[in-house]
Chains A and B, each alone.
Chain A
Amino acid sequence: MKPVLTPEQAIEAIKDGSSVMAGGFMGCGNAFTLIDALINKGSKDLTLITSDTAFPEVGVGRLICQGRVKNLYATHIGTNPVSGQKMNSGEMNVTLVPQGTFSERIRAKGAGLGGVLTPTGIGTDIEKGKQKLTIEGKEYLLELPLGAEFALIKAEVCDKQGNCFLPMATKNAAVVMAMSADYVIVEAEAIVEAGALDPDKVTIPGVFISAIVKSVLPAANLQLKA
């Protein structure tokens, strides 16, 4: 059985300077309750690993705007202008990673692989500092595994063994993040007894999950165009 905790209990071990992965894509699938708890706790100097920084008032975007992130690994920051500002001012270090490489590096860590060979980035600035291998005449970059101390995952349903269902487009990078972080917290809209979630409909196996938290904040991630 996985512990069902309050948001504050679940994030207790997250200290200033911790590395945190956050599932979500443009806010869709961000764990709003956990992110809110992190902000309220005053956590700062975080290394945040997430697909993008959403929008200023949404999910992980708020962590950026509040100046809580010292190092950011992301694939795209264009939708949140504050990210670019903090990068240019030197307040935040930003490492931009191609999205396919991002999910595969994280997966490699969780899957016990030494790295991945990808053709993405060959001939570009992405090559810098990386080993290149030629296999059967084609060049690949050796990209290394990427893990974190914590991962914040949003699920619709989670059973008490941690098996969870992530609907629709909320899956994104959360699936591989759950594999690769040391302590994985699932924020679930519904927490059910083991057996109540069809084992054939599980998105993330409970074996990766460390703790479960009940979601209290709705997924209000939509920045609707006027």
Chain B
Amino acid sequence: MDPKEKRIRLVKRIAQEFPDGALVNLGIGMPTMVADYIPQGRTILLHSENGFTGLGPQAKKGEEDPRLVNAGGQPVTIVPGGCFFDSSMSFAIIRGGHVDYTVLGALEVDEQGNLANYMIPGKMIPGMGGAMDLVVGAKNVIIAMEHVNKNGAPKILKRCSLPLTAVGEVDLIVTDMAFIRVTKKGLVLEEIAEDTTVEEVIKCTEAKLHVPGKLGKF
């Protein structure tokens, strides 16, 4: 399976987590792909942090409206049932615990559910944007990422080394190799991707993984 297909597999798996009617915020990059794989018969409402619910597909070429963009500045559409509001309201929705699921990427995640995803000191400092509020406020925090970085090093660590986005907020980690739940007793490997093994997953993970008797596949 090529990397693109693996990415689709992992976002498809994440999409299965949302019940019908869930309010979901998807971070820029790979998380946005989750919206394309919501299971048949279920509808979710997408929250866009720059000020609306009902985030729809990208605007068609020639039909872009400069008053309607997503959090990345790209022209989008709004679906029936959505509504517009200002930043203060948007972040009241986020920080006040009204977002059911937030899906975002990560540089590092660790055994305690700590997340580092907003800067590499001296190298990459894009800023945290809404990430810190999202991770603190959302009811469920799902990390969508490659299991190892481009140098082959694990991204699921014992302790994050990079500046933290938030402490102890991650609930699920879904990668091209594994579906891992963060629990009080640590990281539990609940499912592995069809084309890998438990041994391979453990090898690519620095954190300790609890492996239950029954293991699912995706």
Spell out A's residues near B (CB within 8 Å): 25-29, 51-52, 54-55, 74-79, 84, 87, 94, 96, 98-104, 107, 118-126, 156, 167-176, 203, 218-225
Closest-by-CB residue of A relative to B125 is A84
- The residue that A168 contacts in the complex, of B68, B91, B137, with Cβ under 8 A, is B68
Q: Are B130 and A176 touching (Cβ within 8 A)? A: no
Known contacts A167-B67, A169-B52, A169-B84, A77 near B133 by CB under 8 Å: no
Residues of A within 8 A of B91 (CB): 99-100, 103-104
Known contacts A77-B125, A169-B69, A98 near B132 by CB under 8 Å: yes
- The residue that A28 contacts in the complex, of B69, B94, B127, with Cβ under 8 A, is B69
Closest chain-A Cβ to B111's Cβ sits at a distance in Å of 15
- The residue that B67 contacts in the complex, of A51, A54, A104, A169, with Cβ under 8 A, is A169
Q: Give 23 pairs: A residue, B residue, CB < 8 Å, sorted on A.
A: A25-B71, A26-B69, A75-B128, A75-B130, A76-B127, A77-B126, A77-B127, A79-B72, A98-B129, A118-B95, A121-B132, A123-B114, A123-B164, A124-B166, A168-B65, A168-B68, A169-B67, A169-B84, A172-B87, A173-B88, A176-B86, A223-B73, A225-B74
B139-175 to A contact mask, C-beta < 8 Å, 1/0: 0000000000000000000000001111110000000
B50 on interface, CB distance cutoff 8 Å: yes
Q: Roughly how many angstroms separate A34 CA and B131 CA in the complex, as a whole number?
A: 30
B39 on interface, CB distance cutoff 8 Å: no
The 4 closest A-B pairs by CB, nearest first: A78-B126, A26-B73, A123-B167, A100-B91
Closest chain-A Cβ to B192's Cβ sits at a distance in Å of 31
Closest chain-B Cβ to A211's Cβ sits at a distance in Å of 21
Spell out B's residues near A (CB within 8 Å): 48-52, 64-69, 71-75, 78, 84-88, 90-91, 94-95, 114, 125-133, 136-137, 163-168
Closest chain-B Cβ to A51's Cβ sits at a distance in Å of 7
Q: Roughly how many angstroms separate A119 CA and B128 CA in the complex, as a whole number?
A: 15
Closest chain-B Cβ to A73's Cβ sits at a distance in Å of 11
Known contacts A28-B66, A77-B127, A222-B64, A124 near B86 by CB under 8 Å: no
Known contacts A25-B50, A54-B73, A121-B132, A173 near B87 by CB under 8 Å: yes
Closest-by-CB residue of A relative to B119 is A96
Q: Are A224 and B64 touching (Cβ within 8 A)? A: yes
- The residue that B88 contacts in the complex, of A75, A96, A104, with Cβ under 8 A, is A104
Q: Are B95 and A100 touching (Cβ within 8 A)? A: yes
Known contacts A98-B128, A103-B91, A79 near B69 by CB under 8 Å: no
Residues of A within 8 A of B78 (CB): 168
Q: Are A101 and B133 touching (Cβ within 8 A)? A: yes
Q: Are A75 and B136 touching (Cβ within 8 A)? A: no
Q: Are A171 and B84 touching (Cβ within 8 A)? A: yes
Closest-by-CB residue of A relative to B48 is A169
